A and B are shown apart, each in its own frame.
Chain A
Amino acid sequence: AQTVTQSQPEMSVQEAETVTLSCTYDTSENNYYLFWYKQPPSRQMILVIRQEAYKQQNATENRFSVNFQKAAKSFSLKISDSQLGDTAMYFCAFFNNAGNMLTFGGGTRLMVKP
């Protein structure tokens, strides 16, 4: 079974600064996807970024980028130029392509301070 660990329950960052959220996972699979979801107070789950395990290049979406270290089973999210609207819970998730299982970490609550 896969496990996903987010070791930082809460983090804060000053507006316009950069912050990195950590995520590690455990799997014996070779083909899989990793996701970061953002959940603002509205509780909507918004996909932030996705990484395919077979791609070595780190995914980037505007101010969001990941540092994917497959051997280390690490998948951190970097938010550059943090904005007040980035304040939310962030969930790391592992998608097992073989079994179609989507496993979540416990989440990191990010507060962006003005």
Chain B
Amino acid sequence: DARVTQTPRHKVTEMGQEVTMRCQPILGHNTVFWYRQTMMQGLELLAYFRNRAPLDDSGMPKDRFSAEMPDATLATLKIQPSEPRDSAVYFCASGPGTGSSLSGNTIYFGEGSWLTVV
């Protein structure tokens, strides 16, 4: 049963600490998204990748956030230094991306990483 795997599921950290969230996309998927969800702002797109290349990270605060795909099976989202306003649920999602056929193009989400910065 293919699924997107995120770690950690829950993280409580102190302000100023570095936080790294990891995502394993579904095998064969070449499009990966990072979203942040807070109570007030719904789902915000932070970054997304196609074939490991970043296509859009305009939604991400560049001074403290960074997103990478070291290889096709791992995407990371780092916050350094973390702040209380970063407390949210961070979702990773993956999809098969564009190809010669549109069929089967569905985006699947991981269960999210719940981050609390105190």
Contacts and interface: CB of A to CB of B under 8 A. Distances in A.
Q: Is the interface of A mostly helix, strand, loop or mixed?
A: strand
A44 B42 contact: no
A58 to B, nearest CB: 17
Q: Which of A35, A45, A106, A107 has the most CB of B within 10 A?
A: A45
B43 A52 contact: no
B74 to A, nearest CB: 19
Contacts, number: 61
Q: What range describes how many residues of B lie at the interface?
A: 20 to 34
A106 B39 CA distance: 11
Given A100-B31, A100-B55, A44 B109 contact: yes
Interface residues of A, number: 25
4 nearest A-B residue pairs (beta carbon): A45-B109, A104-B43, A100-B31, A106-B42
29 contacts: A31-B102, A33-B106, A35-B107, A37-B109, A43-B37, A43-B89, A43-B114, A44-B109, A44-B112, A45-B109, A47-B106, A47-B107, A47-B108, A47-B109, A52-B102, A52-B103, A93-B107, A95-B107, A97-B98, A98-B98, A100-B31, A100-B95, A100-B98, A102-B45, A102-B48, A102-B95, A102-B107, A104-B42, A107-B42
